Amino acid sequence: MSKSITTRAAGLFSQAAGLGRGSLDAGELQALLDELGVALDAAAPAGAAEIRISLNCTREFGMVLSAGLGGLEAELDENNFRRDRASVYAAAALTDAEDFLRLFQRTLAWQKLAAVARRTGKPAPEGALKDCFGKLLALAQAFAPDNADAPCVLQALELNPALAGEHITVRAAECSFGAPQPARLPRPIGKIDKLIHPKRIGIIGVSGSGMNFGRIILRNLMGSGYPKEQLLVLKPGEAEIDGVKCIEGLKAIDGKLDLLIVAVAASAVYELVDEIIASDAVEAVMLIPGSMGETKKSREPAAALAGRINAAHGKSGGGPIFLGANCLGVVSHPGAYDSWFIPLERLPKPQKKPVRNSVMLSQSGAFMITRLSQNPWLDPAYMLALGNQTDLTHGDMLSYFAALPGIETLGIYIEGFKDLDGLQFAKAVRKAVLNGKQVVVYKSGRTAPGQGGVMGHTASIAGGLTLFESVVRHAGAIVVEDFNTFDDLFYIAGALQDKKIGGKRLGAISGAGFEAVGMADSIDSDGFGMEMGALEEATVKKIEEILVVKKLDQLVEVRNPLDINPGADDECHLQITEVFLQDPNIDAVVVGLDPTAPAVCALEESKLRPGHDIASPKSTVSLMPALVVRNDKPVIGIVDGGKLYDAMSAGLMDQGVCVFRNCARGTKALVRYVEARQNADYLKHRRPGGTDF
């Protein structure tokens, strides 16, 4: 079937191109629609359930299939709707007909189709839609911009408005195509290992007398534990700087450098890069200088430089890889080095997890600095700033880390993609998820002014936000809408990675009535929701027995959510939490730890009741970590209080307990996380053996 469609389409495109056209005329379009099994009838009456079905070749993601509201409703601003309600989008390479039909069934367009079917007593048009989606995906595969064998690229095929019943009928359609464009050569991403685990590092741009960026980087390398004897400074006329050997330049390198850090002025980079490529003495290069490609004057030379780097990848061995430019650098704890030009005294990086198992990738170095400064419990093993993506891209980096053992969570800040790199990135997201990893993504440039800021920062192009969010979320990522949500989801994903997500039934506990209700009020997200689990009788009885012992039985009615009264002590909170966790109708628990309650050991030091503090063996800080370890269901602790309770929160988080300082943020983060984990399970089970679409 698909071969017949693609063969016929190729003939129609060739015929139109031979007549100097980049679109199909009415007769050619009719012939293509016949192959698709779609009837073209301009006189068909307007329906109550008009839909739109489109294939589009996008700059970032290549072929994208979309469907949603049609006719006049297709012109409405999608921001007026909740996500996946007006339209759904998916990279054609990562979906099939059945999967895309599942996506489409989230839309208002499908709800209208289903309502019409119920009213007329006819079946919903699942079969016709699935058949149409399958044929369109065959076209997408045959005429995709990343298909080296494609005779041309299908630019757009729009069916709008369309009527779906036993068959698909369209009242209007159009189709355009174009010539294939040359693609960038693949980067040798295996050399990223040299970048993050270098055995020899060279630095160029170190001042012998002042504290410039190069000198700060050198100090940070040594301060983070990288051995001096494995460092070289490329500095003519100097024997050593800060005890590190200096050499005259690239030609004086004995053997090869795994990594060369370039911290010279931007104007000197162009000639230096050519020298690096010609020398074959370096495996990976970090370009620190900014302004390359960020100003009107620099864009042309920066593009030419990127072209020369790309050409070097066609040589034997693939040539060196380049990170940056406008790059803060890399922190690699497994590689024992920190090349950021932020002094260590301004951003200490103490280990906050028993095992570092996450990665942060960001176009903006400052994004990582602020995230880590405010949230040291994010504690990534690797932090890499991509800058302008002169060479290495988001897709390259995620492709590498998606397969790296020991990495469980990836947090990514994106300003824009290079051509077709969004598709590589989406494929890498899917690969990571199928490998059991979690990917949290924030895309900047969410408004027109924001897009202008992106262009001025790292010379990137901010693509359409709805398209980006839909495609990347469908690939399997957790896509967030602001910095706080990024922090929350990156943190919770790392904290709960090894916990079982058996369902979406929540248990909520607190000694503060508003907090218990607040948890229940926070169980819905945009398009997904948890529910309050119904406690079994045995659970209720066990809790009542605990309340009798704690002399709270006359004050508390057992239900979910549960307000256990401000008189409850640490042990009472945790005993009830464990009973909730043992209930088969509860899949996760959020517990308010009530730090201001008099009976709770929440202070670093209690003057009123000496010993009644977080150091007590009866405190939550002492007891809760073991509870978390012995239960395979997620537990979120809420410490809602001011600075007095920072020590309690830190004491729990340092021991691996997932803690939030606000019940709404904690519950909402859990809901988003459960949704993502369930979607990951769907992706894994959909393709036995973990293969991609």
Note the pLDDT tens digit of each residue in 180-208: 999 899 999 999 999 999 999 999 999 99
Using the 3D structure, point to which of 151, 178, 205 is the last residue of a domain.
Answer: 178
Compare 342 and 423 and report the one with higher pLDDT: 423
pLDDT of 399:
98
Q: How many angstroms separate the CA atoms of 399 and 401, rounded? A: 6
Instruction: Tell me, yes or no, whether 307 and 408 share the same domain.
Output: yes
Looking at the fold, whether 165 and 221 belong to one and the same domain comes out as no
Residue 428: CB atoms within 10 Å? 25
Same domain, 203 and 167: no
Q: Considering the domain boundaries, does residue 58 fall inside one?
A: yes
CATH of the domain at 415: 3.40.50.261
Indicate whether 464 belongs to any domain.
yes
Please give the radius of gyration of the chain, using alpha carbons only, rounded to the nearest integer: 29
Give residue 556's domain range.
505-680
φ/ψ (deg, to 5) at 120? -95, -5
Give the model's pLDDT for residue 690: 41
What pLDDT, in 10s, does the model give residues 65-116?
999 999 989 988 888 888 899 999 999 999 999 999 999 999 999 999 999 9
* pLDDT bucket at 446, cuts 50 / 70 / 90: low
What pLDDT score does 454 carry? Answer: 44
- Whether residue 209 lies inside any domain: the answer is yes
* The total number of structural domains that make up the chain: 3
Mean pLDDT of 479-484: 96
Q: Is residue 691 part of a domain?
A: no
Residues 535 and 663 in one domain: yes
Task: Provide mean pLDDT across the span 124-153.
Answer: 96
3-state SS of 539-594? Answer: HHHHHHHHHHHCCCCCCCCCCCCEECCCCCCHHHHHHHHHHHHHCCCCCEEEEECC
Strand, helix or coil for residue 334: coil
| Same-domain pairing of 439 and 554 | no
- Alpha-helical (H) ranges within 388-528 are 394-402, 421-434, 448-458, 465-475, 483-495, 513-520
pLDDT at 449: 52
* 514, 491: one domain: no
Coil, strand or helix at 202:
strand
**pLDDT of res. 78:** 87
Q: Looking at the structure, tell me whether residues 35 and 81 fall in a common domain.
A: yes
pLDDT over threshold 80, residue 451? no
| Residues 445 and 557 reside in one and the same domain | no
Is the predicted pLDDT of residue 45 greater than 90, yes or no? no
User: Within a domain: residue 323?
Assistant: yes
Q: Verify that 527 and 616 share a domain, yes or no.
A: yes
Instruction: State the helix-helix crossing angle for 620-630 and 570-582, rounded to 10 degrees.
Output: 10
Top-ranked range on mean pLDDT: pick from 161-165, 181-185, 626-630: 626-630
CATH number of the domain bearing residue 48: 3.30.470.20
Question: Is 690 inside a domain boundary?
Answer: no
Residues 514, 658: one domain? yes
The CA-based angle 489-491-494, given to 5 degrees, is 105
Asked if pLDDT for residue 151 goes beyond 60, the answer is yes
Helical ranges in 257-364 per DSSP H = 266-279, 296-312
Give the pLDDT band of residue 456 (cuts 50, 70, 90).
very low
350 in the same domain as 296:
yes
221 in any annotated domain: yes
The answer to whether residue 689 scores a pLDDT higher than 90 is no
Asked if 613 and 661 sit in the same domain, the reply is: yes
Model confidence at 373: pLDDT above 70: yes
- Domain-ending residue, one of 463, 495, 527: 495
**What band does 459 get if pLDDT is binned at 50, 70 and 90?**
very low
